[in-house]
Structure formats: structure tokens, C-alpha cells
Amino acid sequence: MSRYTSATDADREAMLERIGAGSIDELFADIPASVRLDRPIDLPAGKPEQEVYGYLRDLAARNTSAEDEITFLGAGMYDHYVPALVDALISRSEFLTPYTPYQPEVSQGTLQLMFEYQTAISELTALPVSNSTLYEGPSAVASAGWLARLENKRPRFLVSRGLHPHSREALATTSHGYGTAVEQIPLAGGVTDADALREAIGEDVSAVFLQQPNFLGAVEDLERLAPIARETGALLVVQVDPMTLGVLRPPGDFDVDIAVGEGQPLGNRLDFGGPSFGFFAAQERFLRRMPGRIAGETTDVDGRRGFVLTLQTREQHIRREKATHNITTAQTLNALAGVIYLSWLGRKGIVELGDLLLQRTAYARRTLTALDGVEALHDQPVVREFAVRLAAPVDRVIERCAERGVNPGYPLAADYEEHEDGLLVAITEQRTRADIDRLADVLGAAVAAEREAVHA
Amino acid sequence: MSRYTSATDADREAMLERIGAGSIDELFADIPASVRLDRPIDLPAGKPEQEVYGYLRDLAARNTSAEDEITFLGAGMYDHYVPALVDALISRSEFLTPYTPYQPEVSQGTLQLMFEYQTAISELTALPVSNSTLYEGPSAVASAGWLARLENKRPRFLVSRGLHPHSREALATTSHGYGTAVEQIPLAGGVTDADALREAIGEDVSAVFLQQPNFLGAVEDLERLAPIARETGALLVVQVDPMTLGVLRPPGDFDVDIAVGEGQPLGNRLDFGGPSFGFFAAQERFLRRMPGRIAGETTDVDGRRGFVLTLQTREQHIRREKATHNITTAQTLNALAGVIYLSWLGRKGIVELGDLLLQRTAYARRTLTALDGVEALHDQPVVREFAVRLAAPVDRVIERCAERGVNPGYPLAADYEEHEDGLLVAITEQRTRADIDRLADVLGAAVAAEREAVHA
Amino acid sequence: MTATIFEKSVAGRRAFVAPEVDVPRDDDALPERFRRAEPPRLPEIAEPEIVRHYTTLSTKNFHLDKGFYPLGSCTMKHNPKLHERVAALPGHARLHPLQAPARAQGALQLMWELQRALAEIAGLPHVSLHPAAGSQGELAGVLLTRAYHEARNEHRHRILTPDTAHGTNPATVTMAGYEVVKVGTDADGGVDVDDLRSKVDDDVASLMLTNPNTLGVFDRNIEEIASVMHDVGATLYYDGANLNAVMGRARPGDMGFDIVHYNLHKTFTQPHGGGGPGAGPIAVSDRIEPYLPRPQVVRRDDGTFDLDYDRPESIGRLRGFQGNFGVFVRSYAYILSLGADGLADVSDTAVLNANYLMARLRELAGEHLPAAFDRTCMHEFVLTGGPMKKALGIRTADLAKRLLDKGFHPPTVYFPLLVDEALLIEPTETETKETLDAFAEAIAEILAEAAEDASIAKEAPHTTPVRRLDEAGAAKRPVIRQPL
Amino acid sequence: MTATIFEKSVAGRRAFVAPEVDVPRDDDALPERFRRAEPPRLPEIAEPEIVRHYTTLSTKNFHLDKGFYPLGSCTMKHNPKLHERVAALPGHARLHPLQAPARAQGALQLMWELQRALAEIAGLPHVSLHPAAGSQGELAGVLLTRAYHEARNEHRHRILTPDTAHGTNPATVTMAGYEVVKVGTDADGGVDVDDLRSKVDDDVASLMLTNPNTLGVFDRNIEEIASVMHDVGATLYYDGANLNAVMGRARPGDMGFDIVHYNLHKTFTQPHGGGGPGAGPIAVSDRIEPYLPRPQVVRRDDGTFDLDYDRPESIGRLRGFQGNFGVFVRSYAYILSLGADGLADVSDTAVLNANYLMARLRELAGEHLPAAFDRTCMHEFVLTGGPMKKALGIRTADLAKRLLDKGFHPPTVYFPLLVDEALLIEPTETETKETLDAFAEAIAEILAEAAEDASIAKEAPHTTPVRRLDEAGAAKRPVIRQPL
Ligand SMILES: Cc1ncc(COP(=O)(O)O)c(C=O)c1O
Ligand SMILES: Cc1ncc(COP(=O)(O)O)c(C=O)c1O
């Protein structure tokens, strides 16, 4: 099947002759016979384009996507509306198909968008420096851990139980490699227990990890927690939801050392979990320890302004085993979607949208907790997501709702054994009041039915 | 709602001051008060992007498209697979958003694709000259009629009853304006009645219009018909289906004067009937009477090859009432899809695809006519579409099939009172043998059920 | 320049992989005498090179997403990206035109709602979406006039068009079998009413008018003109290419027009595609309604939507199927997005931008490029390059070509015909004040530069993929296809 | 250069229109002390100018759809347009990662089938799609080695990497808490087996190898190397960045590798996006399987697909959710399109193209740019610019910059480190013979030109949007955000 290759039989002959080889097989003579594959690859024959399209379309049709149901799933990724101009622009070959911009003279498009992206992220987080993406949220948390390790070599990480379970796990997986222990700080009343944190903090703590809003949707009191966390010189790392930063005080307000987060809400698709991007912003003093690419402004030989990859002495291709991180391919195209989205939203829009989420979330929480068998899991302020307790088996309630075309949210049991009756409900601008009312209707009925089922 | 406009209040003030006007209202002072609209336009308020998307998506969902059923509808437009590279390339702003290329120095992209398109159409039709699109098929037929009128002023057009009903009607509508009468040549055995044509032809016939394959899917014997049609100096105009020109002898083989057709099958969407494009190819001698834009090769002041709109003295913006046609905006973007599609298909592909259609169509015709209550409407060779007779009410049979997810084709009754039991079935490369077998199954059952219903 | 796709063809290469012939072969399916002997010589080339070829070609175009495109009479406004998304929905893009109306309710409702919206905007009760573009709308409109008169047993032979009219107007008149009579323009840039009166009689079928006209001038005498025409039983035709100037401010129907065509690809922002596609719906008054093209989209009493073919007095169809539906989707998305206020704001801002740019140019270039009619303009205005030619020795064409070097698309040039060395400038509402300022300054720079050295403009452009092309040669020895 | 989007911001402009707050307001919803005082200073700009800004920016990039991109080790092959279409299907693009497996069967099946296909291609039974890119795949792989040894109560401290290794290898070793030990390269460009033996003992956890390696050389001693490592109980890690050379010809699993990472954005043609996204799945042998990241996509006995979290010995997750699914869709589309033959043809043609280009360059530039290892190469090869520097006084960097003027993207330069003035050239299989010829000729021209006048190359590029940039200055005084 040649459709992407051009070498005709005539081409092959002419080329082999020029090479001075009798056959293509000869070119593979270095491969010892004993390790050669002496049979065809055991895969089906290739298919015409229309059949590949048909096959994958049919698979896609077997998924229930946000296009097919009213979904209140969130827990780290959110069904926000992606404006058409994002898709139109990121699909331009000029952005879609180049490699990392190693030749700045012919990569100003990518380099400038990285610079603009970095600016937007430091504006959102109110921190002075940002890199130009890591893979995604949880691995960005893990990368913050690695930076802390390079910074102070202390043996303990303290993580709030309000930190996304995936972030906690990614941190544990990677820190196991270099031997830093991870301890959890419990929640009290839905937010990080400040006393427990004060208990645990000490000279041997490398970094403290919090999340704003936390995984249960609660707004953490960073004003109170930050000083405790940093008291003994530990780094304070906060994972933030970028969509809330129009209304919530930013990490920079609390002198956090590093702010990281999941970029998907900013103009990126859900894509069943990826690709998206992880952002990483920090205080100036960490600049030369930052992981990942950073674009910097400079001038060319004619004095024209331009952009380059900078501070590369941090990176693996120069410093190898001494590099500050091993990352090379990151998520530039997703960052482009992010910065286009933020430009579309604009200075006013990010506040308006944040306020819309805030109001609809408050309304949804009021409405759901008014139902029999549904109560708030905590009373903390919430912005775009909240947790409730159901007086009926959560999984079965979800099934009943799904049958009626509503996905009520994420069951907490898997990640919080203490909340096996918990349901996490997320709101986006695509979930209207009517959708919320429908959720109340469907959820209320499902809970009632399940309670009956039990009594029966 | 400003989202596409940038004038802020501050801008407006500054601009009005520069203009020397006190208000925007002043700028409209020329409009007599008596004809001013003294109320707001009576339309709903504007909507956010996501709501417009949602509204139109919901409307779209209320259509049963070729994505939702197995369709055998054709009759002029066909559900061919459009390769992804067509959409990717025609959606580039550089092709999508410019106007007609009046400034050739910054329009070489569009001008060259027009030139390549003209070449591809000449190759398909085997005629020396092609324009760079008219609106679509039937209006291209009407435009051929107008050219004939300019050419010989004779008072009669003869049209085969095998010509697409829309083409016949468009010709009649427009020729009524300049007073040429349209007479029909009947079909005999599914093809144009050669004797009737010989009867009707004469010195006063301006042009004869045939279709290959004709509307009933039958291959016309142009070898036989062409000489008769041109005997008395009438122009011979043939509407052809471009998808068949890999296997069927092209118009050029029969010295037809003008070949026109519907370009939709070539990489264009169905779009509920448009936009698509009409192609128009002819013998050299008609070049200076051709309607529409034509791109020509030339050189620039530095001797570099380039392309321009040429022979513009044919056109309305220069010749005004003496122009050969009034067309200006045509279908360039659709032509681009067409030439990309033809490049993708390639010299071998157009034959392979034609052969695939031919074989599947033959199989479908065999299979369907083997069913009780289904018989061939004619026995002429067919290439991609064929007509059958049903021994049950066609509309009710279609309804029954539709309920089972199969659209069996187009009912002939509306256009051919003599065939109110007729059904026109079209095949594309997207209708597999399995789909055809399913059609046979569903259609057979539907016909049987309807016959029962009658007897019952 | 880039070699053509045909020149890049190499025997044996391919992008297409054919689905297998999955049915038993019937080798007699097509008798030999019908079979093509030699396949058409289409390119043989793999996907990567097709993609590179057309991607590279595309970069040789100036386009709206690149910069300012003040092409008068063409309304080159921003094309929202949302429109491409909604047009591409499979429920639209893969809907067959002959699908039974019961299974195309969404599409028919969309068309019906668009008809209603367009009717309200133009102030005429009945809309047909049928015509493929403005010119076909014009032809439909003139044929409607013919049908209207014929129904009254009147056989009229002449149609009036102002000397400012777009070329399609007279061309249409001829195609519809009428004789063109030109009407003059008065000192204000409007129709010369005396000349009009002198040419009107009951052999005149219609007057085709653009208002504001191609000078960007709104005809203050519109009511008088309407009554002159109506007094002799003629129709008044509104060329809607300039509708972008008056939405929410005035309506052709209220001005006395009987028939209007819209250019959805202008006022309602369908991307131009380098020369189409577009759509040219028409709106008419009650007395014209019976003759509208077939089929009409209607709403039945039960609230369902349908295609009505049962229109005995219809002029019939001018094209296949139901019109350029893909264009309707985009334009309706635009109307839904902007709504009543938004559409009115479009015209207000279009007129504001035009007057601002005219004012800036008066300041910066007024001496060499005075306005042809120095008065408040509507959405566009005309300058004359006559003084520039005299004083600086460069022509409007030279100025236009030099603008290319500055990264701007030139205005429409040498139209309207009655203005010497005309530049017809239409900024549209979607341009920023900064862009208008930059354009005015670029023109001033070119004029200053020409005062120094006229040859720079005369030999422009200097920075484009190709420079001035030999159009005369192209027409003398036409090479309009690749020799193979 | 283009002003930044922030510099184009004007107070009061906007592209976003907010949906109305359709619920009763609760003004106490968020206590004041949590509220942000000053909004982030995001740009204020309308849609048309956003579109123009990023469209214009895009045109400053060289890209694969524009021309030849022989960036060694990066496998810049054509990115089929079909892949973007299938990835954009709402059933993929709008599928929430936490959707219940029962309602995500299509996605899980796709992932499972991709796992099977990748396993077959690499010749190792178990695949995890989890890692986000090659580097994360490497980290996962080294952590798997750690888990494997720890399960045996072994605590090893060193990992070997050849001096030809890509920088991510040693960087990964450090991040995983091991010490890096470098191994030398022999005269043929393979691992120096004696040096290897001298450094191997039971404190060595693993050897990370690329085969063919970054010199484009297939290591003939691979079996011996494998046994050396296995004899001391170490694992053998395969850096799959060069898998494009050997599909259908040989499999890492059959060579004795325990752990492999794939770069889907190289071998399996995910567009690079100017620096991602990609995906770095890993394949492992049975003994490593228990430690694979969580969750794993599995097929249950009833034929349904599921996410398996119940993996007690798993190293856990390195990232959120199920991996870069959007990338999987594209790469699986590629595998479905090409099939067994097609994939084998990919490697055959990639190696053919590389050897052809090497031969052409030997003819045209062999004197100044000899091959670092003059032998049959695999999918890429290395030239040394040493002689060119001596004879002509231009460096590899100068040659690279001058190639930009000729419309080519330069090869990878100054890597691998052990070759003086290295050029690492990987043409890939999707390029035409004509393109390879043109590239070789361009290099010959540059050398000839340099013989005349070296300054042209030294000062290159001359035709790009900007010319050589001050990278040292950028690093000395970093400006990495727009001052506002
Ligand atoms: C004033 C005027 N009338 C009519 C037309 C013709 O419209 P279309 O190009 O849609 O056929 C145009 C545009 O070219 C125009 O500017
Ligand atoms: C040989 C080699 N190993 C590893 C990598 C790292 O892969 P990735 O960029 O996907 O992290 C690359 C690519 O940069 C490479 O070329």
C-alpha cells in the first residue's frame, strides 16, 4: 500500500543502483540472521482511507461522549466549550507539523506563541516565570517534586488529601525513584487540616502540595495554610484550576513557590484524558531549575526582535545526566490552543465566565442538596465543582441517571474510602440551568428508587 | 454584541470627531425620514457562540444524513467518500477567504488551481477548453443554451427526456426569457429515441441536449445520436457524470460541442444540494463565447511564469450588456475540492473507481431484479445507477425501508408520470456488497409487505 | 512559480487506494464500444506531495485572514470560524438533496427561518433562497418581472440601469431578453431623475438600482424614483450587494422596491473562496410572489416544513435542488450570532469606518486623491486618481500595485466607470481603527514616494510571488490548460 | 516581527460573549477574602484580529507540509490528514476520561487493539500506553527496572548508557535515582563490548540502548550485549526512537530487550505540533509485566474492555488518566491504513531513502562532508563537517543556516556528540527521490559557494523572517514574558 510513499519500482531500481546494492534486503545485512523476523508482521492488510474512517467512526460511536449525554463529570478535566477559532488555527499545518523549534529563524511562529503562552500563564497565576508546558497536570505536580528534590534534598513530601488522587500517585511513583517519602495531610470539613499540617511540618520537609480548589471542590484557605507550609523552608506547591483564576485569588497572592495545573480546561478537548498540557509557573529564583522548554525574547543580527529557546543549559540535550529534567517533546500545540482560548476569553471574559460557573455551581449545590437523600459533603465555598453524599449506592444511582441521558458526576469511593457515598458534580458554561434542573429531577428520582429497592 | 467588530466607545468618539459628525445617526442623514426603519429589526437578540453551535447542531440532528442510514439516493448528487486531505486543504484561509483573483500578483494560488482544474476537466471530457466553473450542473446546461443562442439565434432547443429534470427545467426557465422554445425527445427502451430525434431535428434547431449516462442510469449510444443531432448544424450539448469518465468514452470522442455537468461527485459534500460546481468544456471555437472565469498562463515582467484571469472581454464587468454571461461569483472553492480530489484519485484511480462502481452496480441490478415484484425498468447498460419497477406503491415501500435504516433510492413518479412505479438506485464506493445485500433484503420485504397489504 | 500538479506527476505513484471489488465480476457489464480507451491523464502523485503542492500554492494568495481587503462592492468582512464548524456537521454536509422532507426537517426549518429573517431585514414578505449567487438572483428577479407583466398580457422590452450599475445588471437584462437603457447620475451621485423620467414609459419593465449605489451614496430621491417607475407599471429592482450599509436603518421594501437580491457572501459573510461559492436569495412583494422559483420552502399548518412544488405560475427553477444550503447554514449562524442589535451595529460600524477612512484620506491624500462625491458616504466611498495622475504621473493601477508591497489588498479600481481613475473603498465593520489608520498612512507614503520617484509605483509590486503579468499576451495567445 | 497578542490588546474589545447568568444570583457564594482583586491582564481583542494574529504567526514557521525536514532522530514523516479527521470525531474528542468503562467501550477497544499491534511490532507481549512521550516512557521503563529488582530484594545503583545515547537517557537515569555510567563506541559505531564488559557487574541495573543507534548503525553485537546484561541480572532497555528502521525486519523483543518505548509521534506519525503532543507507550516481557503502570486496558473474558486498577505490584501512574488518547487514535489509524505490508514497506523505504541520500552526498559532497561511519546505514546517517570546516572555513551550523535559504530544514546538528561537527540526516520514507536529489544538490551548491565566499554561509540565513538570533544574550538576561 503506497499512498504516503512515492518510490516506484523504477525509483527503487535507480536508487539501489546509485547505492550499489543489489536489493533492499542487502541494506539490512547488519541485522544478524538469528534476530531477523522471518515472517510477515502478524497484522491485517492495510485498508483504503474510507474503510479506516468507517472503522474508527464506528468505534467512536460506541462511546458515550459529552455530545451524547448531559454530563456533570469533572474531577480534573471539564467539558468546556472550545470555540471554533481554536480548532481552525491549531489545525494549520504551520503549527501542527513542525518539530520543536531548534532553528529559530524558521520557527518564530511557534516561539512567539510559547512566549505569549508563558505570559498568559504568569498572568493567570500571578507568578513571574512560566515554562512552555509539561505533559499534563499530575506529571507537572511530580515535576515540582523533582525540582524540590534538586533544591533541598530533604526526605519528606507532605501532600494534602485534597490534592488530585492522580497527582498524589504520580508524585509517589516518581519520588520513589529518588527516595523521597510522601505523607498525606488529612482533610477536616472538606479542606486541608491546618493543625495536622502544623503537626507534620518540619526541617526535613522538602515540599508541601496543596490544590485550589481541592479535589472535593472546596476553596482552600491559602492565606492560612501557606505560612504554615513555608515556615520551615519547605517549598509550597499549589495545583490550581486555571478556569477559576478569574475569580479566585491567584497563587502569587500567597507567595507560593510553584503553581502547576492541568491546562485542558483552556481550549483543549477532553480526548478521553489526553493530550492536554500541564502548566508550571514559579518564583523568579527557580528559573534556572525549571523543567521544560522556555522561550525568550532577543534580537537578530539586524537588531530585529525575535524569540529563541532559552536557558537550554537546564536541558537534557546539553546537560544530559545533570539536566533539571528529562522532558523534550512536551505539549506545544495544546499550549497554543490554551493561549488562543485565553485571548478569546480575554481579560473581562475570564471573570465573567468564572462568575457564571460560580453562580451556576452555587445554584446546583442548593438545588441538589434540597433533594431527599442528597446532602452536601462539606460546606466550604465552591466555585465550579462540589461534592454531595447520597443516601443510596452511588454506582447504581449513576447507572439509573445514565439510562436517562444524564451523567451526574464522579463517584468518590474509588479514591476516598471515607466517602464511598460521595459524588463529585462539575459545572461548566455548557451546563445550563435547565440541565441542572434536569439533573436534580433525574438524580432525585434515582436516589428515591434505589432507597425503595433497599426497603423492598 | 461586538465579537467581530472592534470599535470601542472610545474609538467611536475619536472617529466621529475626526469625521466631524456628532453622532452615528448623522451619518445616515441621507436616508429620508419617511423610509427610515423607526423600530429595531424584529429578530431575537444575538447568542453566544456555544448557543449558536448548539442550536444548529440540534437542527442538523433532525436530518437523516448519509451518516445515519444506508442510502442509495443519487439522481444527480452522490454520496462519495471525500478524502480528508480535501477538507484540510480547502479550509486553509488562503483558499477560503480571498475574493475572485482580481490582483494576480497576490492570487497565484487561486489562479494556478483554476488552471489545473481547467486541465483536469479537459482531460476528463477530452475537450480542448474548459472554464473555471459555473454554479452547478443544471445551470451549466442552461448556460450552454445561452451560448447556443448567442451562436446561432435559432428558435428551438431539443432536449432528451433522459436529461436531468432539473436541467430541463433550468433551460426552459431561462430560455423563456430570450424566447427559444424547448421540445422534448422521448426515450425508447430507456434511452433517447434516435428516430424521434431525427424527426425533430432541423435547420431551426439551435442545440440538442443529451445526458450520459441519462437520468435513468442508461448509457446512451452517443456514437449513433451525435451525428443525427449535428446534421443540421445544431450544437450538441451533453451533460456527463464526471465519475463515469474513467470507464465511459468521453464527449470528445463524439465531437460534441459542449460538455457540462455537476461537479459534486468530485470531492464535494452533498450539502443538501449545494454549493457544488458546474463544469463547462467545449470545442476550441467557442472559447471567446465561454461563460465564466478562465485562467490563462502568462509571464511577469521578470519573465517568470504566472497565471491571470484571461479573455475578460467576454465578461460583464468589461462588456456589460454585451457580455457572454452575467456570472461573476462562481464556485472556485468547490473547483479546488474537485481538482484535489482528482489528483488524489489519479490516472489509475479514476479507472479503478469507475470499474468498482460498474461492477457493484451490475451486481446490485442483478440482485434487486431477482426479487419478487422488482424488475428492471430498462435493459440498457448501466454504470453507477439504475432504474427498477416496483409492483407496489413506491412511496410506501420507501417508507418501510427507511424505517429499517435503508434509503432505497429516488422515486421517479414526480418527474416521469410514465414511470410512477419507478425507483432510481445509485451506487457509490461507500455502498459495499453487504450494503447492497441488505438493500435487497429490506426492499424485498417491503415490496412483499405492501403487496400483502393491497390483497388484504 | 510552483510547477503544476500535472508537472509533478510520476507514473506509478498514487494517493488513492481502491476498495476491493467485493462482488462477482461481470465482464459484460459494459460493452466494449462504450468503454474509454485511454484514461484521462490525471496526476499520479502520493498524498504528501499533493498536500505540499496545494499548501504551497495557498501561500501565494493574499487573503482576509492575512490583512485588510477594502475591495469596494465586495464587503470583505471577517468570516467567523464557527460557520465552518456548523456547516461541516454531518447532518448538514452529508444530507442528500433528495432526502424526503420528513427526514430533512432540520434543514428545511433552517431554510425557513433564514427566509423569515431575510424578509424582515429587507422589508419584503416573501423570500426564495434558490439563486446560486447575486447574478443568478438578478436573472431570477428580471424573469419574475417578465412573468409578472406577461400575466397581465403586457410585453415590455426595455429595462433601465444607471451608469453606476454593476456590470452584472446590464448583462442580466440582456440574458433575460430585454434591451438595456442607461440612466445618468446627478451631481450628488444619485439617479438623474430628469433623465429617468425622459426614458420611462410603459415599454419599460423595470429599473435595477443599488442603494446605496456603487458610489457609496444613498439616493435621497428614492421615493420619487419609486413612484416614477410604479406609475408606468414597471417594477423596481434592488441590487442588494450594498445591503451592509443599511441594516436596521432602512429597508428596500419600505423604499418601494418590489424585488431584492441578497449576496449572502457579502452582507452575511460567506467566505469568498477565491471566487465562490455564494448565494443570491431574493425577496419580493405580494404581487410578485406567485412567480417565485420552484420549489419553495414552506411551513405546513401542522408545523412541519416542506418543499412546495405546486406553484403553477412559478417561473420554475434556474438551478438544481434547493439552493446553496451550505451557504445558508453559515449565513444563518451569522444572523443568530448577531441578532437584531448586532446586525444594526454592523451597518452603523461599517458606515462609521467608511466615513472615518474617508476623513483620514482627505487629510492625508485629499489633494491627489479627492473624493469623487465629497459628502457623507455610506459603507464605501469613491476617490478619483485623476489629480494624482496629473500631479505625480502615477495611475490608480500603480497605486494599487504599490499597496500590495505594503501588505494591503487594493480597493476596487476603475469602477464605477463614470469616475476617472476610480478607487472604490469599502473597509467593512470588522476592521480596527488602527488598520484604517495604517492604510491611510500607507497611501500617503506611496504618494510622497511617487513625488520623489514615480517609477517605484509604476514598477510595483516588488515583493509579491510574481510581479506585473502580461495580461494582453495571455488573451492574445490563450494557454488555458496544461499541455500533456 | 509581529507584535504580541498582548501588544495588540485594546481595552474594551472582546471576542467572547458570555452566556447569561440564568440562575438566581447568590452574592455570598464566594467570600470576599477568596476573591481575586485584579483580573489577569489577558488580551482584549476581537475575533478577526485573533485570527489574523495567529494566522500570521503561523506563516513564520517552516513545517512538514511545506518541505523537506530531515531532522535526524525525529522521523519527520508525512502526517496523513485522515488522522486529524478521525481524532476530531466527537465520540473521541468529547469523551470524558472518567466516563464509566461500560460507556467507553469504543475507546477502550481502540486502545486494546493498539496495544496488541504495538506488541506484535516490537515482539514483546505486554504494552502500556500510559506515558506521555518517549522521555516519560524512559522514566517508566527505568522505574520498572527498579521495581523488578526491588521485588527480588536487589538494590542496584548504576545504569549504563552509550556515549551515542540521546540526552534523555542519562537525564532519565538521574531522575530515577540511579547513577549514569557511560559506555564507549567501537570503530563500527556499535557499543564497545569490551568497555561494556569492564563496567558491568551486579550493581548495574540496566543498559539503555538505541538500535539502530543515533549513528544510524545497527549494532551487530546485539545478542552478545544482551547476554552480557542478562548474565548479571540487569535489564536491557530499548529506546524506540529509531524503530522506523526495522519494522517487519527485526523486533527488539527478539533481540533480547526487556523494555521498549515507542515514540508514536515519530514512527507512528503523530504531528509534532512544534514540540508535542506525543505519546511514549512501553512494551515489556513477562517478567516485567507485573510492575506496569496503572491502570491497564484489558479485555475481560466476556469480550468487554475495561480499565484494570487491581495491580498490586504496579509502579503506579506517572500522569493522569489513561494516556494521550488523541494520539492513539491517529497512530492506530496509521497502523490500520498501512497494515503489515505497509509497515514493512515503511522501514524498507526509509532505509532505501537514507542510503540513497548518503550515496548522493558521497558523490556530491564526500570530500568535505564524509560519513562518520562509512558503511550501509539504516534509516539515518551521520556526516562530519570537520573537513568542511578545515577546507572551507564554514561550520556545520553555517551549512545548516544556509540550507534555510534554500528552502530546506537542516538536519540535526552537533549530535551525536562523539562526531565532530556532526550532521544527523533522516530523510524518512515519505520523501520523493526528486526531493532527496534536490537536497543533495543544495548542499553541493552551498559548499561550492563557500569555496568562493565563505561569508555567505557564515552570515546565513538571509531570507528568513528573522536572521541569526542572539541566544547568548537571551540566556544572560532572560526576558521570558511580556512586560505589562
Ligand atoms: C453591486 C453588485 N451587484 C451584483 C453583484 C453580483 O453578485 P454575485 O457576484 O454574487 O453574482 C456584485 C458582486 O460582484 C456587486 O458588487
Ligand atoms: C533517540 C531518542 N530517544 C529519546 C527521545 C525522547 O523522546 P520524546 O521526545 O518523545 O520524549 C528522542 C526524541 O527526542 C530521541 O531521538
CA of D5, closest CA in chain C: separation in Å? 14
- Can you tell me which atom of ligand 1 is nearest the CA of B326? 11
D168 CA to centre of ligand 2 in angstroms: 7
Q: How confident is the model at residue D264 (pLDDT cuts 50, 70, 90)?
A: very high
Closest ligand (CA of C280): 1
Element (H, E) at B221: none
pLDDT tens digits along B64-120: 999 999 999 999 999 999 999 999 999 999 999 999 999 999 999 999 999 999 999
The closest residue, in CA terms, to atom 9 on ligand 1 is B329
Mean per-residue pLDDT over chain C, rounded? 97
ipTM: 0.98
pLDDT tens digits along D65-77: 999 999 999 999 9
CA of B164, closest CA in chain D: separation in Å? 34
Q: How confident is the model at residue D1 (pLDDT cuts 50, 70, 90)?
A: low
Cβ proximity of B154 and B234 under 8 Å: yes
Q: How many CB atoms lie within 10 A of CB B25?
A: 11
For chain B, percent of residues with pLDDT exceeding 90 = 97
Q: What is the rounded distance in angstroms from the CA atom of residue D175 to the CA atom of residue D178? A: 7
- Which of B161, B86, B59, B99 has the alpha carbon at shortest distance from B378? B161
Give the pLDDT score at A2: 82
C54 CA to centre of ligand 1 in angstroms: 28
The closest residue, in CA terms, to atom 7 on ligand 1 is C134
A151-154, long-range: CB < 8 A, 24+ apart: A151/A206, A151/A235, A151/A286, A151/A289, A152/A206, A152/A233, A152/A234, A152/A235, A153/A206, A154/A180, A154/A203, A154/A204, A154/A205, A154/A206, A154/A207, A154/A234
Q: Is the pLDDT of residue C301 over 90?
A: yes
CB contact under 8 A, A83 and B49: yes
B11-14, long-range: CB < 8 A, 24+ apart: B11/C432, B11/C433, B11/D10, B12/C352, B14/C433
D135 CA to centre of ligand 2 in angstroms: 6
Nearest CA in chain A to D106: A59
Which of the residues D2, D5, D51 would you substitute to probe the C interface, choosing the one with the greatest number of C C-beta atoms within 10 Å?
D51
Closest ligand (CA of D165): 2
Q: Does C80 touch chain D (CB under 8 A)?
A: yes
Positions of E strands within C134-275: 158-162, 179-183, 204-209, 235-240, 259-262
Q: What is the rounded distance in angstroms from the CA atom of residue C13 to the CA atom of residue A5? A: 8
Q: Which three cell numbers stand for residue A35?
A: 534476530
C37 CA to centre of ligand 2 in angstroms: 53
Q: Is the pLDDT of residue B21 over 60?
A: yes
As a whole number, mean pLDDT of residues D468-482 equals 96
Q: Is B421 helix (H, G, I), strand (E, B) or coil?
A: coil
Give the pLDDT score at A29: 97
CA of D104, closest CA in chain A: separation in Å? 4
- Can you tell me which atom of ligand 2 is nearest the CA of D280? 10
Ligand 1 and C170: CB distance under 6 A: no
What are the Cα distances from residue B317, in Å, to B95, B131, B321, C414, C421?
A: 23, 17, 9, 10, 16
CA of A263, closest CA in chain C: separation in Å? 23
Distance separating the N- and C-terminal Cα atoms of chain C: 19
Helices (H) and strands (E) in chain B, counts: 14, 17
Q: Does A453 touch chain D (CB under 8 A)?
A: no
Q: What is the rounded distance in angstroms from the CA atom of residue A146 to the CA atom of residue A166? A: 16
Give the pLDDT score at B318: 87
Q: Is the pLDDT of residue B8 over 80?
A: yes
As a whole number, mean pLDDT of residues A28-56 equals 97
Q: Does B5 touch chain D (CB under 8 A)?
A: yes
CB contact under 8 A, B48 and D19: yes
- Can you tell me which atom of ligand 2 is nearest the CA of D135? 11
H-type alpha helices, B4-76: 9-19, 24-27, 49-61
Q: Is C161 helix (H, G, I), strand (E, B) or coil?
A: strand
Nearest CA in chain B to A80: B50
What are the Cα distances from residue B195, in Å, to B198, B207, C160?
A: 5, 17, 46
Positions of E strands within D187-265: 204-209, 235-240, 259-262
- Can you tell me which atom of ligand 2 is nearest the CA of D242? 1
Give the pLDDT score at B332: 98
Q: Is D339 helix (H, G, I), strand (E, B) or coil?
A: helix
Q: What is the rounded distance in angstroms from the CA atom of residue B277 to the CA atom of residue B254? A: 24
C185 CA to centre of ligand 1 in angstroms: 20
Longest dimension (CA), chain B: 84
Closest ligand (CA of C275): 1
Q: Which pTM value belongs to this model?
A: 0.98
Q: Is the pLDDT of residue B2 over 90?
A: no
Residues of chain D with C-beta less than 8 angstroms from the C-beta of C81: 47, 51
Q: What is the rounded distance in angstroms from the CA atom of residue B270 to the CA atom of residue B81? A: 11
B191-199, long-range: CB < 8 A, 24+ apart: B191/B162, B191/B218, B191/B219, B191/B220, B191/B221, B191/B378, B191/B380, B192/B160, B192/B161, B192/B162, B192/B220, B192/B225, B194/B221, B194/B224, B194/B225, B194/B228, B197/B158, B197/B160, B197/B225, B197/B228, B197/B229, B198/B228
Q: Is the pLDDT of residue D331 over 80?
A: yes
Q: Which three cell numbers stand for residue C369?
A: 486623491
Q: Which three cell numbers stand for residue A351?
A: 471573570
Cβ proximity of D339 and A1 under 8 Å: yes
pLDDT tens digits along B267-302: 999 999 999 999 999 999 999 999 999 999 999 999
Interface partners of chain A (CB pairs < 8 Å, 3 or more) are: B, C, D
Nearest CA in chain C to D15: C80
The closest residue, in CA terms, to atom 8 on ligand 1 is C134
Q: How confident is the model at residue B427 (pLDDT cuts 50, 70, 90)?
A: very high
H-type alpha helices, A126-234: 137-152, 165-178, 194-200, 222-230
**Of the partner residues D47, D55, D82, the one whose CB lies closest to the CB of residue B3:** D47
Q: Does D430 touch chain C (CB under 8 A)?
A: yes
Q: Is the pLDDT of residue A1 over 60?
A: no
Q: Is D388 helix (H, G, I), strand (E, B) or coil?
A: helix
- Rounded-to-5 percentages of helix, strand, coil across chain B: 45, 15, 35
- Can you tell me which atom of ligand 1 is nearest the CA of C133? 10
Which of the residues C7, C56, C78 would you substitute to probe the D interface, choosing the one with the greatest number of D C-beta atoms within 10 Å?
C78
Q: Is the pLDDT of residue C304 over 60?
A: yes
CB contact under 8 A, A81 and B429: no
As a whole number, mean pLDDT of residues C153-160 equals 98
Q: What is the rounded distance in angstroms from the CA atom of residue C147 to the CA atom of residue C151? A: 6
- How crowded is the C-beta side of C107, counted as CA atoms within 13 Å? 33
B332 CA to centre of ligand 1 in angstroms: 16
Nearest CA in chain D to C56: D66
CA of A125, closest CA in chain C: separation in Å? 30
Q: How confident is the model at residue B456 (pLDDT cuts 50, 70, 90)?
A: low
- Can you tell me which atom of ligand 1 is nearest the CA of B329? 9
C261 CA to centre of ligand 1 in angstroms: 10
Q: Which three cell numbers stand for residue B257?
A: 460541442
Interface contacts (B, C; CB < 8 Å):
730
pLDDT tens digits along A234-258: 999 999 999 999 999 999 999 999 9
Q: Does A87 touch chain C (CB under 8 A)?
A: yes
CA of A127, closest CA in chain B: separation in Å? 30
Nearest CA in chain C to D68: C52
Ligand 1 and C214: CB distance under 6 A: yes
